[in-house]
Amino acid sequence: MKQVIQNFKSGELYVDEVPKPGISRGVVLVKNEYSLISAGTERGTVKVGKANLIGKAKQRPDLVAQVLQNIKKEGLKATMDKVQTKLDSLKALGYSSAGVVQASMDSEGYFQPGDRVACAGQDYASHSDFVSVPQNLVVKIPDNVSFKEASFTTLGAIAMQGVRQADPKLGDNVCVIGLGLLGQLTAQILQANGCNVFGIDMSDDLIELGKKNGMHAGALRSDQNLQANCDAFTNGYGFDSVVITAATPSNDPIELTAEIIKKKGEVVIVGAVNMNIPRDPHFYRKELNLKMSCSYGPGRYDVNYEEEGQDYPFAYVRWTENRNMQAFLKLISNKSIDITDLISHEFDIVAAEQAYDIVLGKVKEKHIGILLKYNGEIEPTTSVAVKPSQGQEKTVVGFIGAGSFAQSYLIPNVKRSVATLDTVVTSKGITAKGVASKFEFKNASAEQNDVVNSDNINTVFIATPHNSHAELTLQSIHAGKHVFVEKPLAMHAEELEVVRAAHQDSNRILMVGFNRRFSPISVKIKEAFSSLNQPLVMNFRVNAGNIPKDHWTQLPNVGGGRVIGEMCHFIDLMQFFTDSKPVSVFASSIGTQSVSTTNQDNISVTVQFEDGSLGNLVYVGEGDKSLPKERMEVFGGGKVGVINDFRNGEIYSDNKCTKIKLSGKGHAQEVAAFLDAVKNGTEAPISFDSIYYTTLTTFKILDSLHTGMQQKID
């Protein structure tokens, strides 16, 4: 299928063939008929992509701060590799479209093939032939509303939310500053609400367009009589509310608003403007109320709402982003809003570059609403060829999942090995195409079966969200593949037992991404204790840092939390040092009612091993970032081994300290060990028993937290 793409590193914008997106639980697959280019928002997005590295840094200082912090933790090279991975990616453009449902897995069975729908969401309702959109960002289109009109729905919902924040009353005098597409829609909604609407803009054409569509009056910002015109419109009282829909780095809209609004008036910011709020004379003396309007409305940026499909109760949250979308379409259906004059251009998807030339000012044409049209007469495939076949090695690899971790630590190491990168699968076709091009896979796909059921692929890497690991591992084992699955192997004991049974009936290698045991410094520490025949005492401290509760790794049904998703690393490392299986575990966590703190992210765990060894893990999510993340201490037989964040360490023996200068967390070594075993037909680098007991121990940690009792591991 065709999709508008921007290479974020080079800034190049083009239309390309990418795999049709897949569909999953809670998602609706839609064939687009029209999508709307939001000129203001997308102009800014594209300009950031076209800026050089310094320009990008200036526009995103928050990300620069993250990079500097990461350098302290992981070093310059590792950090720059991550940055390059982020930069060298393909970006989807667009977030407002309309089309026809092809298939749906929404939780209520509400959407059926053939339904006409409007879609919203960056990275979802993109400029492409087909889109996969979470169910709460999809609404049905009334019969008397065209696809062209419905393609404005996302912008309409943004305008609706801005008006709701202003809470205008019948007969209120309301000013709209900025009469671009969003301002025009805002003015029409206010007029439909029974308000007297006054518009201000830099363009006389936009003021006249607003008047044509029901705005009662307007004036140029440069008009020397602007204040007098505002006074005349409001009988000298000032506006009851002002909605700022302009997009400018200037502070002028805020300052102007303070001058023309009445005392105790409502100031609502919808557009991206500078917000240096001048206290005197107006904001303070008029006691003005300043409100932000958050995009389409309640639910925006809430993972549970947008991605998990959990709606808010109607009685308590009357207007969600989905209900704002519905309301906007109802206004069009009732002829309360007219889109006709807001469409200035229409291009076929193949000519999208011409549309963006207008948006970016390369072609000087007056514009406001620019539509892209889709034909889609040929059914696209879920897979596209990227790199011509040039022979292949004995080990042929397919990747299912290719997020930033896989692109930073797994795929590059496979590429360096003696293996063929055949197919990469991601849920979004544009991502698969970008990863395939970057790492020279032969094919890109959005369909997991293109890897699992491929006769050509004999080795599968799984790097998807945690809740899919066990099922994809089972499918791959049953298909006769060798499997490398990122941790965790399973989310609960039942899944683990099913995988165990399947593996016992297979002669294939199953590996889980417990990389720390492969790090050079871990191997060195183990060698120092190899001659001992007595138990070890291990103290592991992990300053893990806070992860918000709405991050996917924290969601119980997606990531499973950090006990299952991260602490497994350290249980595995304990097994590596002891060569013994865990037999019991006791865990306790902090207790706080703070909504920003996850108790289970701040935990103390004690593990007893079969050989008598003892492992203590202190895992903290509330520490300071300046402290190195991980410190391991191993005691036994008169020796002590220390690992300092897998960058260096020490061995204490015979009353002297030997410094160890070895760095790396073992990602390259674990991938090489796995692929060597596949190629040579040797034993798995980690025994399945060890993988099994590590995974089972994490479940027992949770049981111990819930019961307050020690748990046997058997």
**CATH classification of the domain holding 17:** 3.90.180.10
pLDDT, one tens digit per residue, over 76-104 is 766 766 666 666 778 899 999 999 999 99
Same domain? For 580 and 677 the reply is yes
**Is 395 inside any structural domain?**
yes
**CATH classification of the domain holding 638:** 3.30.360.10
CB 554 within 8 A of CB 466: no
- Tell me, rounded to whole angstroms, the distance of Cα 384 from its chain centroid: 24
Of the pLDDT bands very low, low, confident and very high (cuts 50, 70, 90), residue 392 is low
DSSP of 439-462 = HT-SEEES-THHHHT-SS--EEEE
**How far apart are alpha carbons 544 and 623 in whole angstroms?**
8
- The pairing of strands 420-425 and 369-373 is unpaired
Total count of domains within the chain? 4
Domain boundary among 430, 464, 498: 464
**Is 317 inside any structural domain?**
no
Same domain? For 567 and 706 the reply is yes
Of the pLDDT bands very low, low, confident and very high (cuts 50, 70, 90), residue 7 is confident
pLDDT for position 596: 85
The residues pairing with 34 across neighbouring beta strands, listed in sequence order, are: 98, 373
**Is 224 inside any structural domain?**
yes
Q: What phi, psi does 568 have (nearest 5°)?
A: -55, -35
**Is 331 inside any structural domain?**
no
Same domain? For 540 and 688 the reply is yes
**Is 479 inside any structural domain?**
no
Region of residue 75 (phi > 0: left; psi between -120 and 50: alpha; otherwise: beta): left
Question: Is residue 43 scored above 80 in pLDDT?
Answer: no
pLDDT for position 78: 64
DSSP of 52-68 = -HHHHHHH-HHHHHHHH
**Is 436 inside any structural domain?**
yes
Q: Which two tokens stand for residue 59?
A: 């526009």
Same domain? For 171 and 134 the reply is no
**Is 492 inside any structural domain?**
no
Same domain? For 201 and 78 the reply is no
Alpha helices by DSSP H, listed for 531-619, are 562-565, 568-578
Give the mean pLDDT of 613-624.
96
pLDDT for position 401: 96
**In the 3-class helix/strand/coil scheme, how is 458-516 assigned residue by residue?**
CEEEECCCHHHHHHHHHHHHHCCCEEEECCCCCCCHHHHHHHHHHHHCCCCCEEECCCH
Calculate the alpha carbon distances from 144 to 138, 149, 331, 332, 394 in Å. 18, 10, 11, 9, 59
User: b/e string for 597-617 if b means 16 or more Cβ within 10 A?
Assistant: ebebbbbebebbbeeebbbeb
Same domain? For 131 and 272 the reply is no
Q: What phi, psi does 13 have (nearest 5°)?
A: -120, 130
Q: Which two tokens stand for residue 387?
A: 């790199």
Same domain? For 178 and 142 the reply is no
CB 170 within 8 A of CB 233: no
Same domain? For 54 and 118 the reply is yes
- Within 60-204, strands assigned E span 90-92, 96-104, 116-120, 130-134, 138-140, 173-177, 196-201
**CATH classification of the domain holding 456:** 3.40.50.720
Domain boundary among 237, 269, 292: 292
Provide the 10 A C-beta neighbour count for residue 676: 14
**How far apart are alpha carbons 86 and 80 in whole angstroms?**
10
Q: Which two tokens stand for residue 693?
A: 């007991």
DSSP percent split of the chain into helix, strand, coil, nearest 5? 35, 25, 40
Give the mean pLDDT of 566-593.
96
Same domain? For 120 and 192 the reply is no
Upstream peptide bond of 281 is cis (omega within 30 degrees of 0)? yes
**How far apart are alpha carbons 395 and 508 in whole angstroms?**
13
Provide the 10 A C-beta neighbour count for residue 355: 24
Domain boundary among 292, 319, 353: 292
Of the pLDDT bands very low, low, confident and very high (cuts 50, 70, 90), residue 22 is confident
Same domain? For 125 and 20 the reply is yes
**Is 499 inside any structural domain?**
no
Same domain? For 137 and 272 the reply is no
Same domain? For 199 and 122 the reply is no
Largest CA distance in the chain: 94
pLDDT, one tens digit per residue, over 428-449 is 899 999 999 999 999 999 999 9
**How far apart are alpha carbons 264 and 286 in whole angstroms?**
6
pLDDT, one tens digit per residue, over 350-365 is 999 999 999 988 988 9
Domain containing 410 equals 383-464
Rounded to the nearest integer, the mean pLDDT of the chain is 92
pLDDT for position 442: 94
